[in-house]
Structure 1
């Protein structure tokens, strides 16, 4: 088991996590709005060439990776916390010796 965090640390960590999630939501909103504009421009203003798929897919991949870093691998995520716990236990065992 690990020691409980002091209230100040919990507040700091909660603000950091909320900020990261809010950043992703803002990123996703801008992605949707800009790509709607690009798609409408490519379809209605410049003909039916699907050139808008390039930015859609490229930026979409960036958005997915941003989401993975925030929701899956970010500080406090289940995967990260389990890995940190395993490493902590491994280091403590190594420090105690055989």
Structure 2
């Protein structure tokens, strides 16, 4: 999902309040309840799973590999393989620290 779905603490509390209101008020539109539930659920998943950290780490690894390729346009296949292997090993090491 798009990062615009991410919520800071105040926004999360507001969405929880909206969800509570929508669940307890028979006149509240079902769509409001569904959207608040999806946003709260998404944010809780992101916070508990650490998925944002994994995504950021993956993007850093890809950018490091792309930078190496750009900075070394005449690198041999062996050199590229060595650098990619190095970056993947760093990714795995950082991932284990999360």
When normalised by structure 1's length, the TM-score is 0.39
When normalised by structure 2's length, the TM-score is 0.39
